[in-house]
Amino acid sequence: MKTLMMIMSTLLLVSSVAYADDRLYDEKGYFIGRTDKDGRKYDDKGYYTGRTDADGRKYDDKGYYTGRTDSDGRKYDDKGYYAGRTDPDGRKYDEKGYYVGRTDKDGRKYDEKGYYIGRTDHQ
C-alpha cells in the first residue's frame, strides 16, 4: 500500500507540472492509472479519482481540495501544512526532510532503499 501511495503521489506531482496522457504502472508492469492532458486522474478501471489544476491545486473525485504542489516542488496538504518536496532531480522528501524515493528522467520510480516500484509513461 505504501508503494501504491508513493506512486499515486508521484502521479499527482507529475501531472501538476506538465499535462500529458501519462500512464502509471506498478513494479510488476501492471497498469494502475493514468492522468489525461487536462490533469484529470483515473484508476486502472477508468474511474475518475481527482484532478490537478494548472496552478498545482489537487482535488479528489468529489471536488474537495486535497492540497497543492508549488512551482518549486514543495507539497502542502489541504490545511496548508508543508507535506514534503520533490527536488529538480526527482528526489522526494517527506515533511521532515527524510528521503522517501525518487523518479528518474525516464519516469521510473524507486523507493527510499532504491527498489524499483513502478513507472510513468508519458504519451
pLDDT, greater one: 17 or 20: 20
Q: pTM score, two decimals?
A: 0.75
Could you give the 3-state DSSP secondary structure of residue 30? coil
State which residues form the domain around 88. 2-122
Q: Find the range with the poorest average confidence among 4-13, 39-48, 83-92.
A: 4-13
Asked if residue 103 lies in contact with residue 90, where contact means CB atoms within 8 angstroms, the answer is yes
Q: Where are the beta strands (DSSP E) in 1-123?
A: 22-26, 31-35, 40-43, 48-52, 57-60, 65-69, 74-77, 82-86, 91-94, 99-103, 108-111, 116-122
Q: Into how many domains does the chain fold?
A: 1
State residue 55's pLDDT score: 94
Confidence of residue 9 (pLDDT cuts 50, 70, 90): low
State residue 1's pLDDT score: 47
Tally: H helices and E strands in the chain: 1, 12
